Amino acid sequence: MALRIAVTGWTGQVVCAMLERVPVGVEVIAIRRPELDLANPRTVAPALRAAKPDVIVNTAAYTAVDQAESEPDLAMRVNGEAAGEAARAAAALGVPVIQLSTDYVFDGSLDRPYREDDATGPLSTYGASKLAGEEAVAAATADHAILRTAWIYSAFGKNFVKTMLRLGEARDEIGVVADQMGSPTNALDIADAIFAVARNMTGRADDPSLRGVFHMSAAGEAVWADVAEAIFTERERLGGRPVGIKRIATTDYPTPARRPANSRLDCGKLALIHGVRLPDWQVSLRPCVARLLQAQNKDQR
């Protein structure tokens, strides 16, 4: 019998990746509006009950980091209240819930990768709303896994890799921040990790060690300018023209929301408890760039 996983969202990077990477013996039910509207948390429980899942995965979120500064109530409703509703629905159904969270729950002031038990201190409305979601999930059910990840990119939706390739079509040089450090994480790798965690949680329902907070990002670390250079190195290798990267400071590119200078996550607990290790960011970046370029070339024909 297939493992039924109900996933909130439809067009987000992670849910698109999950739908693409569904393993044998797993069924993914992506629930979207109007049946489930995270801006209206009351719709969450009925939609999830109707799916009759074995696991609930909450990937949908308000992810417009800068816009959240001017829409704090909406961000809190989607990322905080709706996450709690999803977890309460899971508790009522007697199934585990997996909540996707973010490095933005930290202030980025440490000089080492963050561990799960480090103090949180979000700098932005987005980070505060995601932390509220974590707290709501933990309060609703003990049968949860909160997976914090960072710097998500993919061939889907909007993300840094797609933005760089678009800008590179028109510019010879791009200014990119070089004083924020993290681990760019491919949504496909996140999807694979979620499936592994879901199988562990359903296969060992009475194992409390599989529950709680886990960090889940790519191996290796980089600043944004490193990532941009890697993108254009791969594009040039595949026949594209060179694009220069000008390394700039965060203060040179002001944004409404403050970002943590250190977004590195220590993922040792996930590897130890769940046996899940994500690949190095450079390994997963290259095929994503190639895929986007191939799609771009098709569109230009």
Using CA of residue 207, residue 209, residue 212, residue 216, what is the dihedral sign? negative
Tell me the C-alpha distance between 232 and 240, whole Å.
Answer: 8
Q: Tell me the pLDDT tens digit for each residue of 222-237.
A: 999 999 999 999 999 9
Residue 119 falls within a domain, yes or no?
Answer: yes
Q: Answer whether residue 300 shows pLDDT above 80.
A: no
Residue 290 falls within a domain, yes or no?
Answer: no
High-pLDDT (> 70) share of the chain, %: 98
Q: For residue 86, what is the domain's CATH number?
A: 3.40.50.720
Average pLDDT over residues 8-33: 91
Tell me the C-alpha distance between 68 and 215, whole Å.
Answer: 24
Residue 247 falls within a domain, yes or no?
Answer: no
Average pLDDT over residues 95-99: 97
pTM above the 0.75 mark?
yes
Residue 250 falls within a domain, yes or no?
Answer: no
- Catalytic residue list: 126
- Take residue 152 and report the two structure tokens written for it: 């998500």
Q: Tell me the pLDDT tens digit for each residue of 171-213.
A: 999 999 999 999 999 999 999 999 999 999 999 999 999 999 9
Residue 289 falls within a domain, yes or no?
Answer: no
Domain that holds residue 153: 3-158+185-219+264-280
Residue 46 falls within a domain, yes or no?
Answer: yes
Confidence band for 299, pLDDT divided at 50, 70 and 90: low
Residue 65 falls within a domain, yes or no?
Answer: yes
Q: Tell me the pLDDT tens digit for each residue of 170-180.
A: 999 999 999 99
Whether 122 contacts 131, CB under 8 Å = yes
Whether 243 contacts 172, CB under 8 Å = yes
- Domain count for the chain, please give it: 1
Residue 258 falls within a domain, yes or no?
Answer: no
Q: In sequence order, what DSSP letters do the residues of 189-223 get, joined into one string? A: HHHHHHHHHHHHHHHTTT-GGGSEEEE---BS-EE
Burial of 10 (0-12, 13-18, 19+ CB in 10 A): middle
Whether 99 contacts 134, CB under 8 Å = yes
